[in-house]
Amino acid sequence: MISVDDALDRIFTRIPTPLPETVPLARAHKRVLTRPLIAQHTQPPFDASAMDGYAVRAAEIVPGRPVFLAGTSQAGQRFTGMMQSGECVRIFTGAPLPIGADAVIMQEDATADGNQVVFHSTVRPGKSVRRKGYDFTAGKELLPAGVPLNPAMLNLAASANYAQLEVTRRPRLAVLATGDELVPPGSEIGPDQIVASNSYGLIPLLSSYAEKVVDLGIVADDKRALETAILGAFDYGVEVLITSGGASVGERDFVQDVLRDLGVQLDFWKILMRPGKPLMFGTRGKTLVFGLPGNPISAFVTAAVLVRPALRLMTGHTDPFWPFMGVPLAADLPPNGERRHFVRGKLSRNEVGFLEVTPIAETDSNHSSSLAEADALIVQPENDPGTPAGEIIEIIPLNMLS
């Protein structure tokens, strides 16, 4: 058996260098930039008004003294020529500032009568003006390589005139569940059967890191059936294969044997963590193979702790472990043994509004309702003597993983 950290190190050394591809801006959400985003133009490209009002020469404005209205400047149709002394120009938000103007007075501070405008207060130069290049200038680095693109970043990329972006390619991923006892959700359940649930948690947990997810469904505990399903995934060209169930060495646990027969080089198959000790990892060429435990909580936790970081690294994320964070315990955490324990926890806010986490007492690896209740996994170190309430402890927030 190896530690969680050793397992992660072994997995990470097998991950190939991410490859680039170019995608339309509309399909770049959550994708990872392979190169810095460089501004292709200056924004704003001219001095512009920050509000609806009147462009003026600040030094000439005297409250109550009329100024001649020389014209209008609006977005897409600027005032042509130069604004002369004693003049103002009606201007709208985003419109170019006329030559000769140096400030904008909001329309609420003005009274217009025909071509005469009276202002009710003075104004300083630069008021309500967005200077050319105030946002960014051509050639400036706007985003570094390695960032996952969120909506605000896509907005910025569009403003910088990018119709497409170079991002890291995502792998094709296949998922299968094994077990004679499994039936699909919605089935009539026989006396010796249980409903298969693992894939319904694993796929949404991991799909944002995959170009395509192939759900191979339920495969019986039969060597030939397993071989056919897994070989089909390899022939399809998946870069990541995830199985759940059959990862131990019982009489009906065939996954390990089938993987070896199909050329998978297994690196390890037991890990010092709970839930999730019987976990296999290996490779077949450039394909990563994860054999997860069959119990639902074990499968989900091992995917969150080991598979997800691997996929993040595989897709170019600079921080494979995001969003690990530290929060105080709201209740005592009992002692732990030699295996790192990922304890289900419930997040709440304390009396001053800060987050804290309460351990959920249930630790059974087949107890799905307690995982659904949890907002986080508390990361309890190996051989921890116990942690009192109030201490800061590391958590994995579950609602931030997908």
Question: Minimal CA–CA distance to 161: which of 131, 136, 132, 192?
Answer: 136
d(CA 217, CA 196) in angstroms, rounded, equals 9
**174 domain-assigned:** yes
What's the CATH code of the domain at 293?
3.40.980.10
d(CA 102, CA 82) in angstroms, rounded, equals 12
What's the CATH code of the domain at 160?
3.90.105.10
**269 domain-assigned:** yes
Query: Which pLDDT value is given to residue 251?
Result: 54
**152 domain-assigned:** yes
Name the token pair of 353.
Answer: 């509004």
Query: Which pLDDT value is given to residue 58?
Result: 97
| Residue 184 and residue 244 share a domain | yes
d(CA 336, CA 353) in angstroms, rounded, equals 29
| Residue 236 and residue 117 share a domain | no
Query: Which pLDDT value is given to residue 108?
Result: 95
- Spatial contact of 6 and 306, defined as CB atoms under 8 Å apart: no
Query: Which pLDDT value is given to residue 114?
Result: 93
Cα–chain center distance at 219: 32
| Residue 175 and residue 161 share a domain | no
**238 domain-assigned:** yes
Residues facing 34 on adjacent strands: none
Bond before 323 cis per omega within 30 degrees: yes
Query: Which pLDDT value is given to residue 249?
Result: 59
- Spatial contact of 247 and 277, defined as CB atoms under 8 Å apart: no
DSSP code of residue 306:
I
Q: DSSP H helical segments within 160-276, as ranges?
A: 198-206, 223-236, 255-261
d(CA 70, CA 198) in angstroms, rounded, equals 71
Question: Minimal CA–CA distance to 340: which of 401, 398, 394, 391?
Answer: 394
Mean pLDDT by 10 residues, the chain (402 residues): 96 95 97 97 96 97 96 95 96 97 97 96 96 96 96 97 97 95 91 92 96 95 93 95 79 82 94 93 96 95 98 96 95 96 96 94 93 97 96 96 80
Name the token pair of 157.
Answer: 């990329």
| Residue 214 and residue 195 share a domain | yes
Query: Which pLDDT value is given to residue 250?
Result: 57
Distances (CA, A) of 401 to 92, 248, 308, 340: 44, 27, 9, 20
| Residue 27 and residue 154 share a domain | yes
Q: In which domain, by residue range, is 235 found? A: 4-19+169-314
CA torsion 10→12→15→20, rounded to 10°? Answer: -170
- Spatial contact of 314 and 209, defined as CB atoms under 8 Å apart: yes
**70 domain-assigned:** yes
**138 domain-assigned:** no
| Residue 161 and residue 31 share a domain | yes
| Residue 247 and residue 333 share a domain | no
| Residue 207 and residue 261 share a domain | yes
d(CA 335, CA 194) in angstroms, rounded, equals 33
* Domain total in the chain: 4
**135 domain-assigned:** no
Residues facing 72 on adjacent strands: 90
**272 domain-assigned:** yes
> Domain ends where: 73, 101, 130?
130
Question: Minimal CA–CA distance to 54: which of 86, 88, 78, 82?
Answer: 88
Rounded to 5°, angle at Cα 344 from 341 and 346: 140
| Residue 155 and residue 28 share a domain | yes
**Helices and strands of the chain, counted as H and E runs:** 8, 26
